[in-house]
């Protein structure tokens, strides 16, 4: 079971191998705990859970090993105060039952995800500040930048390549999964990610420079920025892109190399900031940066007096 975004809205997804089962939406409870206060406690969070929708893409002709999966749409009638929260779903007894009426034991007693709700009251300070800083400005990705047309296609550019932002809008009524750290590594299920309510869309222009990488899918772009990128709010902008031009950087893969004595700014340019929910100021105060894209791609960088004192190397695949 997990909490996810599907078609721009909250869903709870639950699944089981083997026997088919039924789901009772009334047996779900939710809690919310602020990630911005260390002493915050999980509190009940009112939710309206819709009827389960069977995901037929997992159906197989032979019953053994068949995965039965349901999506349950979820609406939260009231928004919490702006900020990042740990959202948990807790299944109650009777949530899932086999076709013969016996209860299906949940594999997990709860599922959690981080959700960011922005402050959209009044003039929407977050939106207006990002507009003032970035519209018609050239920006550079910390660790690289990715321009996409929704999920349909994307182009990756190195940290030395500038991209012009033409507009910034808030996508009301949209829920999107986003990552922190270098955009080049976004999409990794093993890395930290969160669900962003009403994120900011930055429409941009493709630069003249050749992309470092390209990719795509058969999914339509929809109403996502094309080309462009999506970020949660000013704190997310600060740890992902910058309008300050970089110093001279090497080309190709050499641009990602780090060395003893490099400054924090040098590392952030080449590798991006580490993953996790942090402000830029908080990260710049940490003596060690831990990068955790995946177990085989995890490494740390230790600083002393603002310079790289040591670092580990990802062990990679065996």
Domain boundary among 195, 212, 242: 242
What is the dihedral sign for C-alpha 57, 59, 65, 71?
positive
Rounded Cα distance between 313 and 127, Å, is: 38
Predicted confidence at residue 220, as pLDDT, reads 60
- Total domain count for the chain? 3
Q: Which domain holds residue 143?
A: 125-242
Q: Identify whether residues 232 and 258 lie together within a single domain.
A: no
Cα 66 from Cα 60, distance rounded (Å): 6
pLDDT of the residue at 49 = 97
Tell me: the pLDDT tens digits for 56-86? 776 665 555 678 889 999 999 999 999 999 9
Residue 318 lies in a domain: no
Same domain for 275 and 166: no
pTM for the structure as a whole: 0.92
Query: Does the structure show a pLDDT above 70 at 169?
Result: yes
Both 106 and 141 in a single domain? no
**pLDDT single digits (tens) 186-197:** 988 888 999 999
Question: Pick from 85, 101, 117: which residue ends a domain?
Answer: 117
Does a structural domain hold residue 233?
yes
pLDDT digit string, tens, across residues 258-278: 999 999 999 999 999 999 999
Judged by DSSP in three states, 9 sits in: strand
**307 pLDDT exceeds 70?**
yes
The last residue of a domain, from among 242, 277, 297: 242
């Amino acid at each position: 079971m997990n909490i996810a975004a599907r078609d721009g809205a909250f869903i709870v997804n639950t699944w089981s191998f083997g026997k088919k089962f039924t789901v009772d939406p009334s047996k779900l409870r939710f809690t919310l705990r602020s990630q911005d206060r260390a002493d915050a406690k999980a509190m009940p969070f009112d939710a309206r859970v819709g009827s389960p929708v069977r995901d037929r893409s997992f159906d197989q002709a032979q019953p053994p090993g068949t995965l039965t999966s349901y999506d349950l749409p979820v609406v939260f009638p009231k928004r919490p105060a702006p900020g990042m929260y740990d959202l948990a779903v807790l299944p109650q007894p009777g949530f899932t039952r086999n076709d013969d009426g016996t209860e299906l034991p949940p594999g997990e007693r709860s599922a959690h995800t981080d959700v960011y709700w922005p402050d959209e009251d009044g003039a929407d300070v977050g939106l207006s500040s990002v507009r003032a800083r970035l519209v018609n400005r050239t920006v550079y990705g910390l660790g690289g930048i990715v321009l996409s047309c929704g999920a349909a296609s994307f182009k990756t550019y190195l940290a030395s390549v500038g991209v012009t932002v033409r507009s910034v809008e808030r996508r009301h009524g949209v829920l999107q999964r986003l990552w922190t750290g270098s955009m080049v590594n976004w999409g990794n299920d093993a890395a930290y990610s969160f669900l962003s309510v009403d994120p900011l869309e930055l429409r941009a222009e493709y630069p003249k420079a050749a992309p470092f990488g390209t990719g795509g899918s058969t999914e339509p772009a929809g109403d996502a920025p094309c080309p462009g990128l999506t970020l949660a709010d000013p704190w997310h902008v600060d740890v992902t892109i910058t309008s300050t031009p970089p110093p001279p950087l090497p080309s190709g893969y050499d641009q990602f190399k780090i060395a003893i004595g490099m400054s924090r700014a040098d590392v952030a340019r080449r590798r991006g900031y580490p993953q996790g929910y942090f402000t830029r100021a908080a990260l710049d105060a940490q003596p060690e940066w831990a990068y955790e894209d995946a177990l085989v791609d995890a490494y740390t960088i230790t600083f002393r007096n603002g310079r790289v004192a040591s670092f580990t190397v990802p062990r990679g695949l065996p």
